[in-house]
Structure formats: C-alpha cells, structure tokens
C-alpha cells in the first residue's frame, strides 16, 4: 500500500545531519528522495563513526546509514555548470527541493529558489540555514553543537550551583530536521489547495529555541531564568534519578501527589516518612529535598533497577531505569511495534537501525531500503528518469560531472 507522500519526489541537496533528518521523514512517508552528492566533497556524515566491524569508509558510517534510510543517491558535481543544469532537470520533475548549505552557497550554484522557479513554477523549496535568510547574522555558518547553548538549552542543564552543561548531543540538528519536515508537509497541503509552491526560509537556531518556550516565559513573567537543578522538578518531590546496585545503574522516580508518596514510602519500607513533618506536603518535601533523596537512595542503592521499577510501578509510583543502548535494542515494547529496521546494505550487510515512530491506519509505512552507497542510483536517475543514453552518461563521467 502506498504511503501518504507516494508520488512526491524530493530533490535532496542536503548533507550532514539536519537536512538528511528532514528528508528521511519524507522518505519514511513514501516520497522518492533523490540525494545529490559529489565525491569531490563527500558528506561529512559519511566520514563519522560508528564503523561496522571497526572498518571506516564513506559507505560504512552507521551515522550516515541511519539518517539516510529509504533514499536514492546519485553523484553530481553541482559546481560544474553541466552538473547544475542536470540538477535543474531533476528539480523540474520534482515537487520539493531541500538544502541546508551555509547561507549563499546554493545561490552560487545557480540553484536558489528564483532559479528553480524558472524550471518548475510550483516547486516547494526548503532552505534550512543556521539563522535564516534575513537579519544581521544570516551569513554566519552554523553547527548543531553551537545551537544548543545559543538556544538557551545549556543554561537550563546542570546541577544546582554548577555551570551550564552541554546536553550530550547536537539537538539543533535533529530538531531542525523534524520541524523542516512538518513545514514541507504543510506547504504540500497548501499547494494541493491552491496550486502554488513556495519558499520556506527556516532558521535552525529558532527551531531549537521553540522547544524551551517555558524557560523564556519564566524569564518574561518572573524576571529570572529557571534555576539549574539536576533531575529535580520545580514542583514535584521526590523527583530525581537515584543510584541502584551495580556499576552506574540508576532509577528515575517521581511522585506528583501525597498518595503516590505514601505508596513509595510503603514500597521502600519506610512508611513513617509519610507522617514525618518534613515530608507532610509536596511543599514540605520540596523544602527538604536533599534529606528526602537520601532516604530514598538508601533503599534504591541496594536494589536492582528493574526489580525496583516493578515494585514501584505495582504500587502506582512512576519509576523507570535509564536504559543503556543494548537494553533499548532489546526492548520487547519496541520489538512488538516493529520499530527496528533491518535491510541488506551493499557494503555492510544487514544492520539494525531505528525506524519509523508513527503507525498510520490507512497508509501503512515502511522503510523501503537501506541508506544508499555513493552513486547507487546513477543508472536509475540519469538513464530512466532523465532519459540519457549510455554514451551521454559516459561523457558526463569522463568530464567528471558525474563524480
């Protein structure tokens, strides 16, 4: 059965992480995504580990192969006039074009929105620049790791009395990719109603900021930013991650009511804490949080995290261990929902990848194929779609347009 974007073709000029995250969502929903690359300047993500069996190579990156599932790929040097002209032919038969180069790069190739409109007047073009196409910082180069502190997220992350901390990954990239995919789908809906394409000017920085709106409201309404406080909650107590038995094992526990706190006290064998004046109400527990955490961790530190989880959940207390990657991979819940994807890849064989997080009742989705190797779909795109003969394709290879 066809996906919801079946029949939609995407000319994919993206690279690294943010742009490919966007076009992967479109591929997941059934769009044909044609990724344009060149071996003269290989996508940075192709050169990132992890490497299967410890062997590096541009087609072997687990990072790249995760975020480019379901796509096609060709080799095309956009810096050459012939290459840019061929890219326009692909755009001419496409519905969407997506790029996330630094500001001005796509225009220097002659492939900006105004150029593409001349060959396809209803094209939808998504530009995912770091700071948007307008404003005094529009020409700045952007990277996901910098967008995390620039958004304000790092200022919210850390322990009480500590300096701001990085959150452990470049959230600016995947966050931008997901926002961009939503915007493209909205533009497709608009075009379906009006027949008009449009240009989408996206700021990756701004897409990082909108996910922490409550922090800005704290500043606006109370004149101060939220206080860094580790895994504590501004209102609930207890609410923390507690050490368990074993090396670096933990459990997250949260109680949102007096009833839940009473149940927790019963499970940990300290029913008397529920009547302790220090912990009588949520406000009291919050005021004496350090002492409360110590009482709870005295119990959890002797528990297996999964055994503790089962005991607490059975009593109606929210609790779950932070999972290591292997535990996530072995989750029966994810297996039951067919979340993991395993396709044969030309170089690395069958590897497990994270799949599609949505299930559509009327248009079932599936990852159609593993991520492509460099130039995997040259014959299909140049020959079948563009109608080039073997001699013409050979000439392009000889002139290093296809490279």
Catalytic residues, by residue number, are 173
154 contact partners, CB below 8 Å, separation of at least 6 = 148, 164, 165, 166, 167
Neighbours of 138 (CB within 10 A): 15
DSSP 8-state code for residue 338: T
Task: Cis check for the bond before 238: say yes or no (omega within 30 of 0).
Answer: yes
Contact 342, 350 (CB under 8 A): yes
**Distance of alpha carbon 286 from alpha carbon 99, whole angstroms:** 48
**Distance of alpha carbon 130 from alpha carbon 128, whole angstroms:** 7
**Distance of alpha carbon 65 from alpha carbon 50, whole angstroms:** 10
321 contact partners, CB below 8 Å, separation of at least 6 = 244, 249, 250, 251, 252, 305, 306, 308, 309, 327
What's the chain's length in residues? 403
Torsion-angle region of 358 (φ positive above 0: left; ψ -120 to 50: alpha; else: beta): beta
The tokens for 300 are 């959890």
Q: Which burial class, exposed, middle or buried, applies to 336 when counting CB atoms under 10 A from its CB (0-12, 13-18, 19+)?
A: exposed
**Distance of alpha carbon 48 from alpha carbon 83, whole angstroms:** 27
Neighbours of 317 (CB within 10 A): 25
Neighbours of 287 (CB within 10 A): 14
Q: What share of the chain is helix, strand, coil (3-state, %, to 5)?
A: 45, 15, 45
The tokens for 339 are 């979340």
């Amino acid at each position: 059965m066809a996906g919801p974007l079946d029949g939609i073709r995407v000319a994919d000029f993206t690279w690294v992480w943010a742009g490919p995250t966007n076009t992967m969502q479109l591929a997941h929903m059934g769009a044909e995504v044609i990724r344009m690359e060149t071996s003269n300047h290989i996508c940075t993500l192709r050169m990132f580990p992890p490497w299967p069996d410890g062997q590096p190579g541009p087609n072997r990156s687990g990072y790249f192969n995760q975020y480019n599932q379901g796509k096609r790929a060709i080799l095309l040097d956009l810096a050459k006039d012939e290459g840019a002209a061929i890219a326009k032919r692909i755009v001419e038969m496409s519905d969407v074009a997506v790029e996330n180069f630094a500001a001005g790069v796509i225009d220097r190739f002659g492939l900006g929105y105004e150029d593409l409109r001349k060959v396809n007047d209803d094209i939808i073009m998504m530009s995912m620049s770091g700071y948007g196409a307008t404003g005094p910082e529009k020409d700045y180069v952007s990277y996901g790791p910098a967008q995390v502190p620039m958004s304000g997220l790092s200022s919210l992350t850390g322990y009480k009395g500590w300096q701001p901390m990085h959150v452990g990954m470049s959230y600016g990239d995947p966050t931008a990719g997901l926002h961009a995919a939503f915007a493209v789908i909205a533009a497709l809906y608009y075009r379906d109603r009006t027949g008009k394409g449009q240009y989408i000017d996206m700021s990756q920085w701004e897409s990082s900021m909108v996910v922490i709106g409550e922090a800005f409201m704290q500043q606006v309404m109370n004149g101060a930013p939220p206080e860094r406080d580790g895994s504590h909650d501004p209102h609930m107590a207890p609410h923390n991650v507690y050490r368990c038995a074993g090396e670096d094992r933990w459990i997250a526990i949260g109680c949102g009511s007096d009833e839940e706190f009473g149940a927790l006290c019963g499970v940990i064998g300290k029913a008397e804490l529920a009547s302790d004046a220090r912990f009588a109400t949520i406000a009291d527990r919050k005021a004496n949080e350090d002492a409360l955490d110590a009482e709870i961790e005295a119990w959890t530190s002797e528990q297996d995290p999964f055994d503790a989880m089962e005991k607490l959940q059975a009593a109606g207390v929210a609790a779950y261990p932070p999972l290591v990657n292997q535990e996530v991979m072995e989750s029966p819940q994810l297996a039951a929902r067919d979340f993991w994807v395993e396709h044969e890849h030309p170089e690395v064989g069958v590897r497990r990848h994270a799949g599609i997080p949505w299930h559509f009742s009327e248009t079932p989705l599936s990852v159609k194929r593993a991520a492509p190797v460099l130039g995997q779909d040259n014959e299909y795109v140049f020959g079948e779609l563009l109608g080039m003969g073997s001699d013409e394709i050979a000439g392009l290879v000889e002139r290093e347009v296809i490279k």
